[in-house]
Amino acid sequence: MADTVKRAQFTAVAPRFQRSINLHNDWYKDDVSSGYIVTPNVAQSLERLFRGVLSPKGQRSFALTGPYGSGKSAFAVFASQLLGRDQVTPKKAESLLPPKLKSTLKKVRGSNKNEKGFLVIPITARRRPIAQLILEGISTVLGKLPQGKSIKSLQAQVSAALIDDAWHDTSIVVKSLTALLVEAKKQGFGGALLIIDEAGKTLEYALQDRGGGDVYIFQELAEFAGRQEELPLLFLILLHQMFDDYVELSDRTLKNEWNKIQERFQSIQFAESAAATIRMVASAFQPQSELPDYVCEEIDTALRLIQQGAMTLPVGIEFT
């Protein structure tokens, strides 16, 4: 009996497709976006974010919604790297963009001659109150900034607020973010990006803890972002479904309240076309050795059927 032939003998999966992405831990690693594919969906989503920053009265708060495995976290990392102020990572990410988006990015980050970059506040949510998680994110960012007197003072205030559970008063969160933006401007940042991945986990928590899991802070921050003129604040949350889908079985009053919060965000539906998905799957496989003759013959047969119209391809994929 012939030995069983396994795919692993001839192909391997590219490393970047073998692990899940964690925004908080991965956004500053320059190798994470290596090989990232800027699909039309990605380009359109970035363009909407950029347009919000550049328009004086533009929308600055966005809810990016897509199913599990659609690449939301990878997009969050890529967007963070594009806007961040690191000297190496933004350049590597920028090299993957089409020319038009590169030009727009330069305007978003600062002037063409002196790109300033954004202060990135990355948060990977868990089942805890969102106000607490945002304060934790602010604390983490403060710890990475040059430690002047004002930064140390603000860091101490935020740490005390976390210890005392002062985040129950959402005004404390807004004041802390306001103070952070002041420091960011002093340090030459061109803007700030508050980005929350897995934000749906905080909504699920809020349904279980109506007292401690108040999600009204989302609305407060969305409105706050729209008022910032000195330093633009881009607020992006990533969800698996819309706000009202999380409260589908809850009472009508709660659903109406969450709908009002959702209305403060511009929705971005993040879903790749079949053609883009096929291209990404193809890019995930790396040839290791030549295929056996009988496998090549099977592939040739399938290609002939496609060419003859006996097998159809998804919209956007053409036979060449």
**What digits encode the pLDDT tens for the residues 91-130?**
788 888 999 999 999 889 875 445 588 999 999 999 999 9
Predicted confidence band at 249 (pLDDT cuts at 50, 70, 90)?
low
Residue 251 neighbours by CB distance under 10 Å: 9
State which H helix or E strand residue 54 sits in.
Answer: helix 40-54
Predicted confidence band at 46 (pLDDT cuts at 50, 70, 90)?
very high
pLDDT of residue 173: 95
Please compute the mean of the pLDDT values over residues 83-91 and round it to a whole number: 76
Per-chain mean pLDDT for the chain? 84
- Per-domain boundaries in the chain: 13-243+253-275
**Residue with the two structure tokens 């096929």:** 278
pLDDT of residue 161: 94
Distance CA 320, CA 315 (A): 14
**What digits encode the pLDDT tens for the residues 266-292?**
999 987 766 666 676 666 677 777 878
**What digits encode the pLDDT tens for the residues 173-193?**
999 999 999 999 999 999 999
Beta-carbon-side half-sphere exposure of residue 89 (alpha carbons within 13 Å)? 21
From 113, 64, 120, select the one nearest 89 (Cα to Cα): 120
pLDDT of residue 233: 95
Distance CA 265, CA 242 (A): 11
Please name the residues in contact with 229: beta carbons below 8 A apart, sequence gap of 6 or more. Answer: none
**Residue with the two structure tokens 């347009």:** 51
Name the DSSP class of 169: S
Please name the residues in contact with 55: beta carbons below 8 A apart, sequence gap of 6 or more. Answer: none
Kindly list the distances between the CA atom of residue 103 and the CA atoms of 39, 59, 110, 233, in Å, as whole numbers in the listed order. Answer: 18, 20, 11, 20
pLDDT of residue 208: 81
- The residue that leads in pLDDT, 275 or 232, is 232
Predicted confidence band at 1 (pLDDT cuts at 50, 70, 90)?
very low
pLDDT of residue 112: 43
Q: Where does residue 185 fall: left (phi above 0), alpha (psi -120 to 50 degrees), or beta otherwise?
A: alpha
Please compute the mean of the pLDDT values over residues 254-262 and round it to a whole number: 83
Degrees, nearest 5: CA angle 73-78-83: 125
Predicted confidence band at 218 (pLDDT cuts at 50, 70, 90)?
very high
Which of 26-40, 143-157, 266-280 has the weakest average pLDDT?
266-280
Please compute the mean of the pLDDT values over residues 299-310 and round it to a whole number: 79
pLDDT of residue 266: 93
pLDDT of residue 314: 65
pLDDT of residue 176: 97
Predicted confidence band at 61 (pLDDT cuts at 50, 70, 90)?
very high
Architecture of domain 13-243+253-275: 3-Layer(aba) Sandwich (3.40)
pLDDT of residue 101: 93
